[in-house]
Chain A
């Protein structure tokens, strides 16, 4: 295994942020950590990147413990933080130059790599503009570029697409796939289920500091069988109706979010008429109904009864 996380724990005062998790990454794969905000993904990543000390457990990279050889292991890694960790008054080139220096690169190699990274990011022409003049998507790209300069073996990406437009997101996701094709191992965290599904070979789903499921996308989807996600948008929905829906045949979970009711149900198409009847009988006005194939969102709902994005 390229990276092994063993019984990793982090306790802040009385709060268990990470509660004894185990997972491993093979060399050359994209591994996704999926979970809602507060699940413990960023704390896990901070421990892997050597930013905070675990309360217990260990992280082994290529056979070496990060607790024992932090400097050597940090050199093999590139960290893309969730925040735009750049200096806004410096240009993109100045930022990249600085981060390259921090990774100990010499000036000749650094110059070549800066040009190469700017080309990969599609920002060569804006390289000498200050970061604070960039759009959100462009800042995100430079944020990633700063971690690529020293060609790390392991790239750790913590929610790298938060708050950007769909076009920039697509660019970033394609870039991640390209990097992986070139042999880079990637640990990717997100609470965007679609991104993890699109990118990752294997996924671990985290909730409240624990890993509640892990495996390939197919393995995880198999956990919910042939269940579908039925989403009903309705007016005048009343809380007692949740119990009525739950006793219907095949219903696994019901989740209410404002006027949107999500029902995880086996053979969704067959049960649709029964579901609509519950709404009609109680005088609810149904505005729309959609049936979705099983996905990781459905897996999370199946396991926790909650939505991924809350």
Chain B
């Protein structure tokens, strides 16, 4: 029980320390804001676009026109855009005032002309400043139109070929309806494949998301250090001697300090995750439990690392220096400052030895929608790193104690 009281005391002391709170909570929140905003362009190569409005005008009641409208309004695209029916004369004004970012106009006789293979085009209007969302609408319409054209050309060629082989015109004429039905079915199929592939496209990370993850990975290391480093302060303030005079041993002390650090770290991570979710709108992935498990593993590694650093530091000054050197080094190499994917291969290899790397990779994987089993290897590595540092740190503290 003594170790739990010691852990509880450390937790209280840390959360009553204004300087500690500033570093553990305020600094990461500010850094996420600054880095998230300023480095956002780096993440725009594969942007995740905010939901936008699209105007739709269809002058054709045919099946192919209706099919396109259904695709645009369908559930698959509902997270990406909202589609409204508008009048053609309102297009310019609605785009100008930002009510819609693009408009799609399906001309009269689109279905008939497409089936007959005649020239017909769907018009897309977009705001010049909103090229990303306009481009997406263009892409969807282009893709649909291409699908229709391909199937139409293919069926036309089939009919011509059949006639070339001597099939009589009357026989072929009676089958035209069936051929048209198959054409429509083929186009519908093309639309479904298209929307499915849209849905399954990779979930891209924004600057805010990346730096929320990166700062949590970095600042839990600081949080862990605050609690464990109290060993050094307690040694200086003589509370450590007093603790030993109560009969506490060095192993109990290490365990108590570790638990205190671990709980502090978990609470800190929870606050940062909830804050970035509520205030910055960062989504930490579809499974909260997976995030909890990743956090448990990352905090275990961070607290164990702190125990090790405290064990080899004799004075607060040397502890501070070592702490800054190791945390900033790991953060730089591990992806907390610059995204992992822009690093040269050699640094990517080195970053595999950092806690930040595995914590960031775990969180990012969860954010992009991957299941927990996909990060099981990352979590195992975090636990292994933590275990090694904890054993090493405990051994150094034990070996350095005198007559406890």
Binding site for B on A (CB under 8 A): 46, 49-53, 70-71, 74-75, 77, 79, 81-87, 89-90, 94, 98-99, 101-104, 146
Contact = CB atoms under 8 A, between A and B. Distances in A.
Contact of B16 (A74, A83, A89): A89
A81 B241 contact: yes
Contacts of A49: 241, 245
Contact of A90 (B2, B13, B242): B13
B78 interface: no
Interface in B180-223: none
A53 B403 contact: yes
Nearest to A106: B1
Interface string B215-240: 00000000000000000000001110
A99 B242 CA distance: 9
Given A51-B403, A52-B403, A102-B5, A79 B13 contact: no
Nearest to A86: B239
Nearest to A84: B237
B396 interface: no
Contact of A51 (B9, B239, B244): B244
Nearest to A143: B242
A87 B242 CA distance: 12
Interface in B107-162: none
Interface of B: 1-2, 5-6, 9, 12-13, 16-17, 237-239, 241-248, 402-404
B17 to A, nearest CB: 6
A79 B245 contact: yes
A104 B238 CA distance: 20
B5 A85 contact: no
A47 B247 CA distance: 14
A225 B331 CA distance: 73
Contacts of A53: 402-403
B239 A104 contact: no
Contact of A89 (B17, B238, B243): B17
A85 B13 contact: no
A58 to B, nearest CB: 13
A212 B243 CA distance: 32
A101 B244 contact: no
B242 A81 contact: yes
Nearest to A54: B403
26 contacts: A49-B241, A50-B244, A51-B403, A52-B403, A53-B402, A53-B403, A74-B245, A75-B247, A79-B241, A79-B242, A81-B241, A81-B242, A85-B237, A85-B242, A87-B239, A89-B13, A89-B16, A90-B13, A98-B5, A101-B2, A101-B5, A102-B2, A103-B247, A104-B2, A104-B247, A146-B242
B13 to A, nearest CB: 6
A85 B243 CA distance: 9
Contacts of A104: 2, 246-247
Contacts of B9: 87, 90, 98
A102 B403 contact: no
A270 to B, nearest CB: 49
Contacts of A74: 245-247
Given A51-B403, A90-B12, A90-B13, A99 B246 contact: yes
Top-8 shortest CB links A-B: A53-B403, A83-B238, A102-B246, A79-B245, A101-B5, A74-B247, A85-B242, A85-B238
Nearest to A77: B245
Contacts of A86: 239
Given A51-B245, A87-B9, A101-B1, 20 more contacts: A49-B241, A49-B245, A50-B244, A50-B245, A50-B403, A50-B404, A51-B244, A52-B403, A70-B247, A74-B245, A79-B242, A79-B245, A85-B239, A85-B242, A90-B9, A98-B5, A98-B9, A99-B246, A102-B2, A102-B5
Nearest to A46: B241
A69 to B, nearest CB: 11
Given A50-B403, A102-B246, A85 B12 contact: no
Contacts of A46: 241
Contacts of A51: 241, 244-245, 403-404
A102 B237 contact: no
